């Protein structure tokens, strides 16, 4: 049996979806305005807490080809705690999710919840009311009296209400499995100066560089792509979109974020990284072109020679890593 509610409504930052100002990473023109739901979510909730999320993107430097996808960039909990004093912990769901949300918001905590995108209005045109897909949102505001929920998702902050409110919380109740939920604690938040923050970020970047692939991941991908091309030309576009999201979008987005991170370090005293950021931007831009060319090939069921583009990304990784390692060391 659920415990009695202490309130019908609770909010953390008191945001308004109509006037919310996104972080510049989600406003300025980029090749990949959205990367994956988790890193984009981190960018926005840190921004709402008046923290600079670009500092926590050093993990993108360790991006690798995993055989069936490129690494999904995800700032580590340890990095977030070292940079900002913000702690992320798993929350055990043993009562209705809405009860947990109200209580934790009242305690000044944000909830990161795996939900069904079917109920998220910001996914209109893809999943909203037409497809079921797992994604993560940041629950920032709950009002049970009006059945409204304010949430971070992908590149912004949004609101849902009514039937979507009921459906989202019903999907988290028995007989369904409880969702995976994390709580973000701001109790010990620290606000370092930009130069102090960059100093910590450089130390973390060195740690991530020690985890970089031992062999060029673009070489590994080029070899796998050559094996997969015949298969790719047999699949339908929906299957291709799944492939493209996990492989090419994660590849391009990871190195665009890495380039942004290096430029930010350079703007705060760690110079000499421009050539590396340019090389990683080249990977990002090439992946963007490749995803479109390959889509046309898949749709038309015709062979396409992408060898030169794959080679460009391969050599760009080598050049970029050489500069980063030389300037930052490991």
Q: What is the pLDDT of residue 2?
A: 41
Same domain, 217 and 131: no
Same domain, 239 and 145: no
Same domain, 148 and 120: yes
128: domain CATH number is 3.90.70
Q: Which of 150, 185, 220 delimits the end of a domain?
A: 185
Q: Quick one: CA torsion of 65, 70, 74, 79, rounded to 10 degrees?
A: 20
* Cα radius of gyration (the chain): 21
Give me the number of domains the chain comprises: 2
Same domain, 255 and 156: no
CB 323 within 8 Å of CB 279: yes
87 to each of 182, 201, 263, 308, 326, how far by Cα in Å?
A: 10, 17, 26, 44, 32
Same domain, 248 and 156: no
Q: What is the pLDDT of residue 28?
A: 75
Q: What is the pLDDT along the chain (330 residues), one digit of tens a residue?
A: 344 455 799 999 989 999 999 999 998 788 998 899 899 999 999 999 999 999 999 999 999 999 999 999 999 999 999 999 999 999 999 999 999 999 999 999 999 999 999 999 999 988 899 989 999 999 999 999 999 999 999 999 999 999 999 999 999 888 888 999 999 999 999 999 999 999 999 999 999 999 999 999 999 999 999 999 999 999 999 999 999 999 999 999 999 999 999 999 999 999 999 999 999 999 999 999 999 999 999 999 999 999 999 999 999 999 999 999 999 986
Residue 26, domain extent: 9-185
How many C-beta atoms surround the C-beta of residue 240 within 10 A? 18
Q: What is the pLDDT of residue 114?
A: 96
Same domain, 248 and 280: yes
**Angle CA 258–263–264, to nearest 5:** 95
Q: What is the pLDDT of residue 75?
A: 94
Where are any strands of DSSP class E within the chain? 9-11, 87-91, 109-116, 134-143, 148-153, 156-161, 181-185
Q: Is residue 1 part of a domain?
A: no
Same domain, 241 and 318: yes
Q: Is residue 108 part of a domain?
A: yes
Residue whose pair of structure tokens reads 């991908």 in the numeric block: 221
How many residues are present in the chain?
330
Q: What is the pLDDT of residue 7?
A: 76
Same domain, 225 and 311: yes
pTM (2 d.p.): 0.93
Same domain, 124 and 212: no
Same domain, 83 and 217: no
Same domain, 256 and 114: no
């Amino acid at each position: 049996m659920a415990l009695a509610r202490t309130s019908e409504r609770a909010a953390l930052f008191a945001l308004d979806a109509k006037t919310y100002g996104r972080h510049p990473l989600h406003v300025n023109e980029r090749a990949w305005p959205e990367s994956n739901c988790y890193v984009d979510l981190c960018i926005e909730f840190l921004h709402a807490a008046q923290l600079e999320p670009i500092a926590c993107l050093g993990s993108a430097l360790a991006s690798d080809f995993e055989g069936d996808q490129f690494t999904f960039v995800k700032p580590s909990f340890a990095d977030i705690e070292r940079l900002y004093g913000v702690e992320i912990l798993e929350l055990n769901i043993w009562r209705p999710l809405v009860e947990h949300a109200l209580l934790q918001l009242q305690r000044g905590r944000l909830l990161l919840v795996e939900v069904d995108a079917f109920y998220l209005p910001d996914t209109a045109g893809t999943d909203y009311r037409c497809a079921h897909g797992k994604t993560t949102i940041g629950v920032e505001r709950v009002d049970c009296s009006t059945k409204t929920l304010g949430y971070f998702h992908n590149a912004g902050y949004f609101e849902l209400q009514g039937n979507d409110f009921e459906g989202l919380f019903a999907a988290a109740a028995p007989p369904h499995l409880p969702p995976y939920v994390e709580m973000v604690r701001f109790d010990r938040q620290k606000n370092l100066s930009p130069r102090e923050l960059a100093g910590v970020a450089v130390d973390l970047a060195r740690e991530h560089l020690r985890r970089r692939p031992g062999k060029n991941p673009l070489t590994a991908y080029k070899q796998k792509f050559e094996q997969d091309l015949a298969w790719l030309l047999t699949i339908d576009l929906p299957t291709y979109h799944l492939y493209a999201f996990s492989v090419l979008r994660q590849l391009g987005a990871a190195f665009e974020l890495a380039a942004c991170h290096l430029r930010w370090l350079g703007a705060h005293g760690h110079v000499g990284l421009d050539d590396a950021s340019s090389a990683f931007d080249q990977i990002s831009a090439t992946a963007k072109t490749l995803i479109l060319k390959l889509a046309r090939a898949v749709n038309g069921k015709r062979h396409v020679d992408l060898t030169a583009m794959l080679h460009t990304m391969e050599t760009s990784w080598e050049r970029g890593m050489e500069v980063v390692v030389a300037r930052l060391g490991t």
